[in-house]
Every structure is written in C-alpha cells, then in structure tokens.
Amino acid sequence: MAHKILIDGRFIGVGDSIGRVVFGIIEHLLEIDKENTYSLLIRPAGVKQVRERGLWDCDRVKIEVQDFGHYSLSEQTKFLIWLNKKPYDLVYFTQFNHPILYRKPYIIIVHDLTMFGYFSYENPLKVAMFKKVMKSAIFDSKKVVVDSEATKDDILENYQLADKEKIKVIYLGVDASYLRISKMDQADRINLGNRFKNHYSLESEYLLYTGMWKKHKNLFRLLKAFRQVNSVSGIQLVMVGKVDKDEMEIIAEIEEINGHSIEKPIITDPVFITGFVSEELLPAAYAGALAYVQPSLSEGFGLPPLEAMACGAPVVAAKISATPEVLGDAAQYFDPENVEDMAMKIEEVIMNQRLRLDLRKKGLDRVKLYSWAENVKKNLKVINEVLKK
C-alpha cells in the first residue's frame, strides 16, 4: 500500500547545512523508495535551489510552496491548520521545529542541543518556546533521528525517555558533488582552489572558516588565536558566510585586526570577509585553503569539515561533542577554550607539510564513510517501521 509522505524542506534557501540535508534525504528516497509517494514543503526562498536540483519538474515528488517561518507564530498556527487539511500519512520534519499540536504521525530530526548552553543570550519568551517545541519533538514524535551518538547522549541526559530505542543514530551523508571532488587528482583540486583565489584576487595562503557567527561557533577565540598565527606566518583567515551584525564583539575584533571598518573588505586584509558564497563556488573555497578550521564549542555532527576533507583541505578542529566521533583521526584537534592551544595546533598544520599531507590523506579516506545512500537506506527503514505501526 502506498503511503503519502511529506518532507519538511523549509530550510532550503534559508539554512545552508540543513538545506543540504533535506536534498540528500529527498533525492535518495526518490531513488530507492518506489512504493510511497512524496511531497516536499519549501518556502519561496527555496524555489530557486529546488529548480536547480531538478526537483521542480520531477514527477515523483510534489512541491508545496508555503511561507511558514521557523521559530514563528505561523509555524504553530497556520502551518498546523495547513497540515491538518492534508492527507499525509507521515510527516518527516528535518529539524526539531514543528507545530506542537500536530497529532498525526511524524518523525523528527534533532541535529543537536547546542542552544541549551546559550539560553542566557536569548529572549526569555523565545527560550520558553524553544524548550516547549523541543520537548514535544522528543516525546510526541514516533521516532527521533539524530546525527551522532553524542546528540543521542545529550537527549537522554536532558529528557527521561522511557523508550531509548525511539532514538535512531543515522550519520549524515556528504553530497555527491563533494565525493566526486574527493576522487580527483590533487592537481585538479589545486586548479579548483585557484578558481576561488582568482575570484577574490587572493594572493596569500589562507585558513578557511565557513558558517554562522553565533556564540557557540567560538569565533572570538578563533580570532584571538589567529592574531598569534598571523604574526608568525603572515597567512590570511578567510571567513565565508553571512556577516552577523548582532555579533558586535566579533566585528570589533576583526576591525581591530584589519585596521578598518568591516563594511569595506580589502583583499590584503589579514581577516578577509567574503560574505555569502554560492554553492557552486564553495568547493573551490575549501580546495584552495591551506587548512580548514572548525573552532565550535558544540556540534551535533558538522558537515563543513567533511566537505573540506573531500576537497583536500587538512582540518583543524575543536575536540568537543560530536566532532571527534565524526572526524576520527583525520583532523588535528585543539582545546576550543584555550586560545594558545588553538593557535599552536593551527601553526603546526601551517608549518608542517608532512602533517598536512597526512591529514589530507586521512580526510579523503574519512569522507568515504558518509554517503547519503547509506543514510537514506536507514532512514527508509525508520519510515517503514513507523508506517507499519
């Protein structure tokens, strides 16, 4: 019997990492599941990417476009009304955000509990709503899918779940476009990296960071460590991602290092801010980096360092939460709360070519463990278990 399944893809176009997760899941479900029928819910901001991926005109999936924002009142009201009118047998929420009064069967992904450690920075009303939505996600869903054993442990520590088997650990996959790059000759990866350097007219070697500027990303300490690294090596730090105007401490530190306003970046800046970089150019940013740095204080999985590894970039990362579980021995680790240790470990990778070659080789091997085909095989098993019940 065919069942109707909705995949919540509202993060496509508004949240890069989770958007990539949604594409990985839906595209491979359509490949291997010939029995059930699928719909994909996106916001207007996701239309362009869905068209580019070829899903807009795919007859195996129905695209629904509705602007139900995350962490919003409309998510709890209009989205709920819309869902209740639909004939879905199962909804797969690809992030914990969901209408808490929805009572039909659903599966939910909890990527991490990072926000729990940073509530002191948030509006109390937002904190209360976050806790309520997360609690509903854990207890009211039919299954909870998590990206790592570390996140499973965090959930069990924070919630008294009677059925611990309800939580399924399914590692994320690395996008096929990155896996193709991992199979290139190193010379071709170097040429790819030169595309990024030429695009921005960069002449120096650079360290790379990609992602948000939120507190748990630990960028202030990274910038402090970079001051020490830059004074020794003269290498640049390239920061890819949207500038967060609310993070005044980070902006002030960058402006002090560069000696001018963040509003007008100069290609010779020690800390070079690119802002948003397209999905097409992002692999070139990884491939051109001398090393990729992930300084986070908390990660539920972490796709960017794996993507960097696939592009041949050595990875230097914080030894915390899920990161060692995911990256194994393919990264150089530091204590994320110790600026001196961070600087020392980054310097070692910059100065030691043999270490970089070793990390590159291990990284290219490590990414082979994370495929969307394997992820979705396990996801489909979870989906079918819920539908049978």
Instruction: Give the mean model confidence (pLDDT) for residues 357-376.
Output: 97
Looking at the structure, do residues 135 and 224 belong to the same domain, yes or no? no
Looking at the structure, do residues 218 and 138 belong to the same domain, yes or no? no
Q: Give yes or no for a contact between 387 and 89, defined as CB atoms under 8 angstroms apart.
A: yes
* Residue-wise pLDDT tens digits, 42-89: 999 999 999 999 999 999 999 999 999 988 899 999 999 999 999 999
Q: Give yes or no for a contact between 275 and 238, defined as CB atoms under 8 angstroms apart.
A: no
What's the mean per-residue pLDDT of the chain?
Answer: 94
* Residue-wise pLDDT tens digits, 213-261: 988 899 999 999 999 998 888 899 999 998 999 899 999 999 999 999 9
Structure confidence at residue 149 (pLDDT): 96
> What range does the domain containing 15 cover?
4-173+371-388
- Percent over 70 (pLDDT), the chain: 98
Structure confidence at residue 126 (pLDDT): 79
Structure confidence at residue 119 (pLDDT): 59
Contacts of 129 (CB under 8 A, 6+ apart): 71
Q: How many domains, in total, are found in the chain?
A: 2
Chain Cα centroid distance, residue 106: 22
Per-residue pLDDT band at 1 (split at 50, 70, 90) = confident
Instruction: Give the mean model confidence (pLDDT) for residues 131-137.
Output: 94
Per-residue pLDDT band at 113 (split at 50, 70, 90) = confident
Structure confidence at residue 118 (pLDDT): 62
Instruction: Give the mean model confidence (pLDDT) for residues 359-371.
Output: 97
User: Which carries the bigger pLDDT value, residue 245 or residue 92?
Assistant: 92
Looking at the structure, do residues 300 and 157 belong to the same domain, yes or no? no
Chain Cα centroid distance, residue 272: 22
Instruction: Give the mean model confidence (pLDDT) for residues 143-147.
Output: 97
Looking at the structure, do residues 143 and 24 belong to the same domain, yes or no? yes
Structure confidence at residue 231 (pLDDT): 84
- Percent over 90 (pLDDT), the chain: 86
Chain Cα centroid distance, residue 318: 16
Looking at the structure, do residues 214 and 255 belong to the same domain, yes or no? yes
Looking at the structure, do residues 324 and 245 belong to the same domain, yes or no? yes
Structure confidence at residue 26 (pLDDT): 97
**282-314 burial, b for 16+ CB within 10 Å, e for fewer?**
bbbbbbbbbbbbbbbbbbbbbbbbbbbbbbbbb
Q: Helix, strand, or coil here: 66?
A: coil
Looking at the structure, do residues 101 and 24 belong to the same domain, yes or no? yes
- Check pLDDT > 60 for residue 269: yes
Structure confidence at residue 285 (pLDDT): 98
Structure confidence at residue 130 (pLDDT): 86
Structure confidence at residue 125 (pLDDT): 79
Looking at the structure, do residues 354 and 378 belong to the same domain, yes or no? no
- Check pLDDT > 70 for residue 121: no
DSSP lists the bridge partners of residue 108 as 93, 144
Query: Using CA atoms, how far apart are residues 149 and 170, in angstroms rounded to an integer?
Result: 9
Looking at the structure, do residues 139 and 197 belong to the same domain, yes or no? no
DSSP lists the bridge partners of residue 271 as 237
Looking at the structure, do residues 99 and 210 belong to the same domain, yes or no? no
CATH code of the domain containing 86: 3.40.50.2000
Structure confidence at residue 120 (pLDDT): 55
Instruction: Give the mean model confidence (pLDDT) for residues 24-43.
Output: 97
Structure confidence at residue 122 (pLDDT): 67
Structure confidence at residue 107 (pLDDT): 98
DSSP lists the bridge partners of residue 316 as 293, 332
Query: Using CA atoms, how far apart are residues 110 and 96, in angstroms rounded to an integer?
Result: 5
Looking at the structure, do residues 30 and 53 belong to the same domain, yes or no? yes
Looking at the structure, do residues 223 and 131 belong to the same domain, yes or no? no
